[in-house]
Each structure stands twice: as C-alpha cells, then as structure tokens.
Amino acid sequence: MKRADKSSHTVEREFGGTLGAVCIPVFLPLTVLFLIGVSRTPSASLFQWPPPFPSSEQLWHPLVPVLLLGWIGLHALLYLLPLGKMSEGLELKNKTRLKYPINGFHAMCISVGLILLLLKLGAPLGRLFELLPPLAVCAIVLSFFFSVFLYARSFSVPSDALAPGGNTGNHLYDFFIGRELNPRIQDFDLKYFCELRPGLIGWVVINLGLLMKEAELQGSPSLAMVLVNGFQLLYVGDALWNEEAVLSTMDIVHDGFGFMLVFGDLVWVPFTYSLQAAFLVVHPQSLSWFGAAVIIALNGIGYYIFRSSNSQKNQFRRDPNHPKVSKLKTIPTASGKKLLVSGWWGFVRHPNYLGDLLMALAWSLPCGFSNLLPYFYVIYFTILLIHREARDDRQCKIKYGASWDSYCKQVPYRIFPYIY
C-alpha cells in the first residue's frame, strides 16, 4: 500500500526519514558556508584541508539583518500591491481553492528598478561580495526560526490543512518535511511568497552585486560574468513571468512548508546558485566569442526544451481541447485526467528536467574547465532532478496506477533519451 492510502502516522518517509531530518539541517547550512569559503580561495578547490570556512569575523556584520529583513519586507509589500491578476490554485482536500496574486514579475521589475536607481545614486552594490558570508548566516538563522514558527502554528490548523506526508507524529521529521500544506496569515500565503520571490529575486541581485565587484576589480565586467548574469536573469524572469505555473507544482500541491522548503527558498537558491558569479570575481576567465556563441546556443536549446515542454503540459492541463495540444496522443486514466504520450512528453518522461539541465551546464561553462566548483550546480541539480523524478514517479504511480505503467512502457526514458 502506498503513501496516499496510509494513515498519516505510517506514511512513507522521504529524504532518509528521521536520520535525514536530523543530518540535513546541520549539513546543508555548513555546505553553503563551505562553498562560499571555497569560491574565494585562490585554488577554489573543493578538496582543501582544513575546509576553508569563512572566518568568524567574516560571519557577522550589523548591516546584514537590516538588509535581509528590509529585502523580505519590501517583497512582502510588493506581494500585497494590487498589481497583476488573482489566480486560483488546484482544488484542496476540502474542495475549496485558494487565491494567489500573480504579480511576481512586477515585483522583480520594481525591485531590480529600485536597485538600479540606488546604483545610480552611488550605492556600493559590489559590497555584497564581502557581505555574502554574513548574509548567508543571517538567512540560515532566519530559516530555522521561521521553520519553528511554521511547525508550531501547524498545530492550530484543522487536520485537512496538513500536507499528506508531513504529519507522521515524529517531531524532527515533520519539522523538516513541513506539516502544514498552505500556511497563511489571512490571505498572505507564506509558502507561495517564499517559492519565487525573496530568494529567487535575491539570487539575481547577488549576481548583479558580484558583477559590480568584478567591474571594480578588473575595470569592466568580463564576458563570462555577463553571460552568467544574463542566463540566470532569463531563468528567474521566466519563472516569474510564468508564475501561475508554480500553482500546480509538487512544492505547492503536495509538500508541506517546513525547513526543507524554507531553507531551499531562502538560503540554498540565492547563496549556492550564485556560486558561478562568486567564483568569477576571484578567478577571472577569458572566453572567446566563439566559445560564448556555443554556450549561448546551448543555453538557448535548453531554454527552448524547458519552456516549450512546461508550456505544453500546462496548456494541456488547463484546456486539453486547446488547438495547440488537442492533436497530441494521450492515454486515459481512471482519475479522468489524461496523460500525454506524444509531443515533448512522449520524447522522455521529464523533458522539462532535460532542458533545465542543459541550461545548468551552460551556466557553468563560462567559468572554464580548471575547477570543479562552478560545476557544483549542474552536478547537484542532476542529483536533485533524478531524486525529484523518482518522487514524482512514485506519486504518479499512486495517482494513475496501470495507466502510469502503460505510459512508462511507451516512454521508457525518464530524463535523458537513450541513457536514463
């Protein structure tokens, strides 16, 4: 018997169960600080001993809590502005649907506009380079406090507001995996807010700060730095432009809001996804125009696969009779929903992951081949997406039973055609 059918206290545990729930919250914050430390050593080697953690003086700066809380406060304010439309999420267990503001792209444009204005007024954005370690520490501390708050408040909500996998009764595991599905303070949805705003837009701003730092040191930003900034800005802009699509993702529909997502959104994304830019500040790379053209083409192919496959599925789920998707081959399922077996979703079972990984590779290549560190993202992301694919496969098997088996038979490769 699988997860959805089990009582909440015997639910199948993910991420290594209780052991994972104890080790991951210790190990991941240390990993973030370690990676930032490595990125600014001359060798940038991941295999240095002792590990080059930032020194204790580098871990605290009085300005940092103000910056971090100010940034989150600004985004909370932008979230509440009556900009963009309101959209409904998927149906909940209690047959209701929550409403969400679709104004993340506006929030990005306004906040990046404000940063550019500050830059024009002479704000030293390059200082973000020195402030990265204390900012990361402050975000880590905040993510622990916030997760404790979320866990505590989850005991005051009705049982149908809990996530299917987050109510095992084991405090450590439930704290880690997330107990409440959609924690809200009135209409303010805390999980949805954190998914795509302070951390994701923060990543772009950190990148810009690192570009400014490189320009200070070298006289102008390098081609490699411009590519890394441009590619990642495109990725974040795309996610926010298509913000509505997040409403049907595993994170929103299935996962509770606990340490795993809080830390991922507020710490892991901004501070490890900006590693390539951080590496380039201390390890400038020369990149030929030909090399840049090849990397741009790779990013373009990845983006095309990622965007068109995600859009195809979203369109199909919203309106299967839409002319863009109505000709695609499908198989019926007992739930009434259909599964696509042609188009992108007939090519591999997760074409969107394939596109995402090609882009991840394109973000690392401008950093050259002398170090492993800039490839940390693509390596970690491959592992994350293989694991995520396995989680989704399990959930789809529960949802669709024999129809899912039939889909897997017709589309045998999961992510990489003819490989995996």
For residue 331, give the amino acid letter.
I
| Residue 189 makes contact with ligand NDP by CB under 6 A | no
Write down the least CB distance from residue 195 to ligand NDP, Å. 10
Of the pair 223, 301, the CB lying nearest ligand NDP is at: 301
Q: Residues 135, 266, 340, 358: which binds ligand NDP (CB under 6 A)?
A: 340
Of the pair 8, 308, the CB lying nearest ligand NDP is at: 308
Residues 6+ apart with CB under 8 A from 338: 316, 320, 330, 331, 332
Q: Residues 21, 339, 348, 378: which binds ligand NDP (CB under 6 A)?
A: 339
Write down the least CB distance from residue 408 to ligand NDP, Å. 10
- Assigned token pair, 348: 């591999």
Q: Residues 37, 315, 392, 413: which binds ligand NDP (CB under 6 A)?
A: 392
CA distance 228 to 222: 10
By CB under 6 A, how many residues form the interface with ligand NDP? 20
DSSP 59: G
Residues 200-259 that bind ligand NDP (CB under 6 A): 249-250
Instruction: From 11-19, 279-287, 291-299, 336-344, give the range in contact with ligand NDP by CB under 6 A.
Output: 336-344
Residues 299-328 that bind ligand NDP (CB under 6 A): 306, 310, 313, 316-317
Three-state secondary structure of 360-419: HHHHHHHHCCCCCHHHHHHHHHHHHHHHHHHHHHHHHHHHHCHHHHHHHHHCCCCCCCCC
Of the pair 64, 260, the CB lying nearest ligand NDP is at: 260
- Assigned token pair, 253: 């529909």
Write down the least CB distance from residue 340 to ligand NDP, Å. 4
Write down the least CB distance from residue 350 to ligand NDP, Å. 6
Of the pair 127, 388, the CB lying nearest ligand NDP is at: 388
Write down the least CB distance from residue 403 to ligand NDP, Å. 10
Write down the least CB distance from residue 77 to ligand NDP, Å. 25
Write down the least CB distance from residue 338 to ligand NDP, Å. 7
Contact 134, 67 (CB under 8 A): no
Write down the least CB distance from residue 181 to ligand NDP, Å. 15
| Residue 191 makes contact with ligand NDP by CB under 6 A | no
Write down the least CB distance from residue 202 to ligand NDP, Å. 14
Q: Residues 3, 153, 388, 397: which binds ligand NDP (CB under 6 A)?
A: 388
Cis ω for the linkage preceding 50 (within 30 of 0): yes
Closest to 227 measured CA to CA, from 308, 285, 307? 285
Write down the least CB distance from residue 40 to ligand NDP, Å. 24
| Residue 396 makes contact with ligand NDP by CB under 6 A | yes
Of the pair 11, 252, the CB lying nearest ligand NDP is at: 252
Q: What DSSP string runs through 91-134? A: --TTS---EEEE-HHHHHHHHHHHHHHHHHTT--GGGHHHHHHH
CA distance 391 to 383: 12
CA distance 395 to 400: 9
> HSE of 391 in the Cβ direction (CA atoms, 13 Å)?
17
Closest to 90 measured CA to CA, from 247, 286, 268, 207? 247
CA distance 339 to 288: 44
| Binding letters toward ligand NDP, positions 341-380, x by CB under 6 A | ----x----x-xx--x------------------------
Of the pair 226, 386, the CB lying nearest ligand NDP is at: 386
CA distance 171 to 254: 19
CA distance 83 to 75: 13
Write down the least CB distance from residue 358 to ligand NDP, Å. 11
Among positive and negative, which fits the CA dihedral 261, 195, 206, 118?
negative
Residue reference for tokens 């909940």? 92
| Residue 394 makes contact with ligand NDP by CB under 6 A | no
Q: What angle do CA 388, 72, 195 make, to 5 degrees?
A: 20
When computed from its CA atoms, the radius of gyration of the chain, rounded to whole angstroms, is 22
| Residue 337 makes contact with ligand NDP by CB under 6 A | yes
Site of interaction with ligand NDP (CB under 6 A): 249-250, 306, 310, 313, 316-317, 337, 339-340, 345, 350, 352-353, 356, 388, 392, 395-396, 407
